[in-house]
Every structure is written in C-alpha cells, then in structure tokens.
C-alpha cells in the first residue's frame, strides 16, 4: 500500500463528509444543455448592461480548475471538453447547505451548475449559480504547473492528467480524429471502399520490418502481428473490388524515437487500372484537401522547417538525387565491385545481405540525400532489390515504378505501380528468402496464397501506404510522434 500525502488524506476526509450528507461522492447521470465555449461564443459580444434584461440560463458540468473563495460569495472556473467558463456562486442564491458543500470542493472535483448567464465588469461571460451539484470527488490533487506535468515522460504515461492541464494536448487529441475523418471522406469521394483485413498472420509480408510474434494456443501456432496491410488488400483487387483502402494499426518490432512508435496507424489504398502517377495525384490532392478543409492554410511548421503543401510538388529519381548531392551517377551500368569501392570511399557500411548495386544506391541515398528533401518531394525509381512488390521500370529493369513521399527530410508515404505478374512475384519472394538467409531479419516470407491469387489475374494497379501518425505530426505541427498518439509505447518505470 502506498502512503497518502497530506492533501490526499484531507480529500478522503472530505469524501467521507460528502457521504455523511447522503450524497454519492462519485455521482451519477447529470443532464446539461450547454458547453463552455459555446456560451462564450454566443454571449461574448453582448455588452454587460444588456444582461440586466436577459433571463437566459444554462446547465453545465466540468472539472473545477480554479477557486477564489470570498466568504459568502465566490468565483470558480470549470472546464469541459470545449474549454473553461467562470461561475459566480453565492450563499444568497443557493442557500447555506449547498454553499457549505461547495466550500468543501477542491480543484479537480467535477461538478454541475445551473444558473443565469451574466457578464462581469471585466467583461467575462459568467454563470451565476442557482443550483450546485457535486458530481465527483477527486482524490488526487492536480499538478501545480499550469501547463501540465513537468516530467515529459510522465505526461505521456499519464495522458489523462496531461489532457486536463494542457490545452494544446487536448486540441491535438480532438484534431487528430478530424484529420482521419477528412481522409475517410476524401477517399470515399474518390470512389474507394473502406475495408478491414486481419491483424494476425502466419507469414511476414507486405513490408521490410521486424515483427512482433504471438502464439495461438488452440492451434499451437506462432503468428505475427501485421507489419503492413498490403497483400490482403491486393487480394481484394483480384476479387473485383477495384478501389479499396484500410486505416488500421500495424506493428513493427523496432526502436522508439521521435518519429517511430512500435504500434502505429497506417493507411494503405489500392486502385485498379491506376499507376504511380495516379498515386502521386491522389496523395497531393489528399494532403491539400486536409490543409484546406481543416486548417485553411498550406504552410505548416514541421521539425524546424516551414513546409508549403501548395503544389505542384517536386519529383526526382533516386539516382538523380544521389548524383545531385554526391556527384556519383548510378544511372550508368556499374559492377558490384565498383559500387562496393564507392561505398568504402564514402564511409558507408554494407551488410552481407546488402551486397548488391541496388542496396548500395539506397545506402547512399539514406546517408547523403534523405535529410535534404525538405519541401514535399516524390522520390521515384527505387532499385529492384529493395522493392519486392513493385513493377519494373520497362525502360530500365534495374529500377522499379515506386515512389516515396519525403517532407522535412522524413518519409511520409510509399507507393508502387503494383507487381501483378505471379511468376516474377514468386522470383522476388525467393530473392527475399535468400536475403533472410544472409542475415536480413526484415525480409519477406513467400506467400503462396497471394501467388495463387495473382494467378487468377490482378488488374494493373497503383497502391500506396501512408503513415497516419507522421501525417498528423505535420498538420498538427508536432515534432514527436508521442504528441499525436494518446497512448504511446513507453519504457517501464524504473
């Protein structure tokens, strides 16, 4: 048993006194007819003297955030989901018994108030309390710091306290669902259908990542939590659904940093008879729709940069981007030996499973180019070795019809002209197995059911995956993924 602080002991004494009055200290249903911000919006422009001839009333409920007791009359502030509003309470209006109940209230308690709308001499919209209802006794005091918990780790662990104390955190919490709703409306209006696919799988497919492994007791079977949504959605293209998307959780057994959380929200979309260019248009339109409809602006601060989402966005191939920064032209035919020598000269470490020209091009990109792509940029033309699910470039089969969207030096989306040739897809899967044997623990398994689906014929298609958390970071101007997740993964307390 933990020891209670002095404040906690006092609050428990007050709880018992509330019980002695025959009042449930943890309340029950309470009917309210107004919210704080709505009242301030409605009455904020009305002059003080005009309230003398008004009898408008409101019933509100919320958490007490401030109390100024002044004998037989007091002011306090309550906070609901929309914001805060001031309450004036007097023994003359509610009677001695109710006023004494109010005097036992602490900051953090939840109460209901019915009263007349008024405005103070200082111009603040206020409710003159005519009926006071105790609802919930808070047994722990709120942090003293106005902006919330001073220990940033505790802010994330105790998000509920952070939401009480930090208006910015609450605004982010309410805006994120609006962004996702806007995405859904946009996709639906484009003719896509939202679907749901399995989270548990017996195969590691759809992306390059280390998985979380779990166990199905009844079947005595190890299973993976999905690292991507791709292959089930493409099966639906085979089935004739033609335009599908899913917004769902994915899980990657990786480290935690300001841009990564092991559990994250992913959206993938697949459109039959489209291609890479179609995915570029879809992406640019979606981002600009969110910017316009929710934020009414195109410029956002992200990770120390000013980002302008107004199009058209830049397009550049991976080899051209590497050449611009390093002067090395990987578009020319090159032997593995020459590529390894260039890597050594540029202090790039090459793992055993990365000893191909394509992997080395990507390593050059990651080291020298990625962080330089600040304004929205479609980076296309990835080497075939790092793109096992993508169509080859018909003009140069060393590269694929794939792009990644980079903003602020970070990846935001990954798109393909989808590989629909079952024979080539099987060969690509086999190449992935060979990489796994060489030590690549992020390589894909062979999904023979998916190969069988492709053998029935999948239409040419464009496909794309979006990191929704990172997208929210951009629009909400947050530099840490933990600030756009209500409950980020945390290390255990020491």
pLDDT of residue 52: 87
The whole-number pLDDT of residue 173 equals 97
**Structure tokens that stand for 222 in this block:** 């190890």
Q: What are the chain's domains?
A: 6-142 (2.40.50.140), 164-313+375-483 (3.30.930.10)
Question: For 381-390, how does the pLDDT look when each residue is reduced to its tens digit (9 = 90+)?
Answer: 999 999 888 8
Q: Please check the confidence at residue 433 and state whether its pLDDT lies above 90.
A: no
Residue 150: pLDDT over 70: no
| 234-289 per-position pLDDT tens digit | 999 999 999 999 999 999 998 888 889 999 999 999 999 999 999 999 999 999 99
Residues 6+ apart with CB under 8 A from 310: 288, 298
pTM for this predicted structure: 0.92
Mean pLDDT of 389-396: 91
Q: Could you tell me the pLDDT band of residue 444, with boundaries at 50, 70 and 90?
A: confident
Are 201 and 224 contacting, i.e. CB atoms less than 8 angstroms apart?
Answer: yes
pLDDT value of residue 153: 84
Mean pLDDT of all residues belonging to the chain: 94
CA nearest 227: which of 260, 194, 195? 260
Closest CA to 416 of 275, 269, 287: 275
Question: Does pLDDT of 430 surpass 50?
Answer: yes
Residue 144 banded pLDDT, cuts 50, 70, 90 = confident
- pLDDT for position 272: 98
Of the candidate ranges 73-77, 282-286, 428-432, 473-477, the one whose mean pLDDT is the lowest: 428-432
Helix (H) or strand (E) run with residue 74 in it: strand 73-80
Lowest pLDDT segment from 1-15, 179-193, 200-214, 227-241 = 200-214
Tell me the pLDDT tens digit for each residue of 182-200.
999 999 999 999 999 999 9
* Tens-place pLDDT, residues 77-135: 999 999 999 999 999 999 999 999 999 999 999 999 999 999 999 999 999 999 999 99
What is the average per-residue pLDDT within 221-238? Answer: 96
Residue 70's pLDDT is 87
CA–CA distance from 103 to each of 1, 14, 106, 120, 244 (Å)?
A: 30, 11, 8, 22, 58
Instruction: Quote the percentage of the chain above a pLDDT of 70.
Output: 99
Beta-bridge partners for 263: 251
Whether 390 contacts 444, CB under 8 Å: no
How much of the chain exceeds pLDDT 90, in percent? 86
Confidence tier at 146 by pLDDT (50, 70, 90): very low
The pLDDT of residue 145 is 62
Q: How many helices (H) and strands (E) does the chain have?
A: 15, 20
pLDDT above 70: residue 147: no
Parallel, antiparallel, or unpaired for β 193-194 and 243-251? Answer: parallel
**Does residue 379 or residue 69 have the better pLDDT?**
379
Residues 424-439 have a mean pLDDT of 85
**391 touches 417 (CB < 8 A):** yes
Stretch 164-178: mean pLDDT, rounded?
A: 96
| Alpha carbon distances (Å) from 71 to 88, 94, 99, 106, 359 | 13, 14, 10, 16, 76
**Confidence band (pLDDT; 50, 70, 90) for 439?**
confident
Q: Give the model's pLDDT for residue 207.
A: 76
């Amino acid at each position: 048993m933990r020891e209670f602080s002095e404040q906690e002991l006092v609050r428990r004494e007050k709880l018992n006194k509330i019980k002695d009055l025959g009042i449930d200290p943890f309340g029950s249903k309470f009917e309210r007819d107004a919210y704080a911000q709505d009242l301030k919006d409605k009455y904020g422009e009305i002059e003080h003297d005009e309230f003398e001839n008004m009898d408008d009333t409101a019933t509100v409920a919320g958490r007490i955030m401030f109390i100024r007791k002044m004998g037989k009359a007091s002011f306090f502030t309550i906070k609901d989901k929309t914001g805060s509003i001031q309450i004036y309470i007097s023994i003359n209006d509610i009677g001695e018994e109710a006023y004494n109940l109010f005097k036992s209230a602490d900051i953090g308690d939840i109460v209901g108030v019915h009263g007349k709308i008024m405005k103070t001499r200082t111009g603040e919209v206020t409710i003159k309390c005519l009926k006071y209802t105790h609802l919930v006794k808070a047994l722990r005091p709120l942090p003293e710091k106005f902006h919330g918990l001073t220990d940033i780790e505790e802010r994330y662990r105790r998000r509920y306290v952070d939401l009480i104390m930090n208006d910015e955190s609450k605004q982010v919490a309410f805006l994120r669902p609006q962004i996702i709703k806007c995405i859904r409306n946009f996709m639906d209006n484009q003719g896509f259908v939202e679907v749901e696919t399995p989270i548990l799988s017996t195969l590691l497919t759809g992306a390059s990542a280390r998985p979380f492994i779990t166990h199905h007791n009844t079947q005595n079977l190890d299973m993976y939590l999905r690292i991507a949504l791709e292959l089930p959605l493409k099966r639906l293209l085979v089935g004739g659904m033609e335009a599908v998307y899913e917004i769902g959780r994915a899980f990657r057994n990786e480290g935690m940093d300001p841009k990564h959380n092991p559990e994250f929200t992913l959206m993938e979309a697949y459109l039959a008879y489209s291609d890479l260019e179609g995915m570029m248009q879809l992406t640019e339109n979606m981002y600009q729709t969110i910017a316009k409809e929710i934020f009414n602006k195109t410029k956002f601060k992200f990770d120390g940069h000013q980002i302008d989402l107004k199009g058209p966005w830049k397009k550049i191939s991976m080899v051209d981007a590497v050449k611009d920064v390093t002067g090395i032209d990987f578009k020319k035919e090159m032997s593995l030996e020459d590529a390894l020598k260039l890597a050594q000269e540029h202090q790039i470490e090459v793992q055993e499973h990365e000893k191909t020209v394509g992997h080395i091009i990507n390593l050059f990109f990651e080291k020298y180019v990625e962080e330089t792509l600040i304004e929205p940029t479609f980076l296309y033309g990835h080497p075939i070795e790092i793109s096992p699910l993508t169509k080859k470039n018909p003009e140069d089969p060393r590269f694929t019809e794939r792009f990644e969207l980079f903003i602020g030096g970070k990846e935001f989306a990954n798109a393909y002209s989808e590989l629909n040739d079952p024979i080539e897809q099987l060969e690509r899967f086999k190449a992935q197995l060979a990489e796994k044997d060489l030590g690549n623990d992020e390589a894909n398994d062979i999904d023979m059911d998916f190969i069988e689906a492709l053998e029935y014929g999948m239409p040419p298609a464009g496909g794309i995956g979006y990191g929704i958390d990172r997208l929210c970071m951009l629009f909400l101007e947050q530099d840490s993924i933990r600030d756009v997740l209500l409950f980020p993964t945390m290390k255990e307390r020491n």
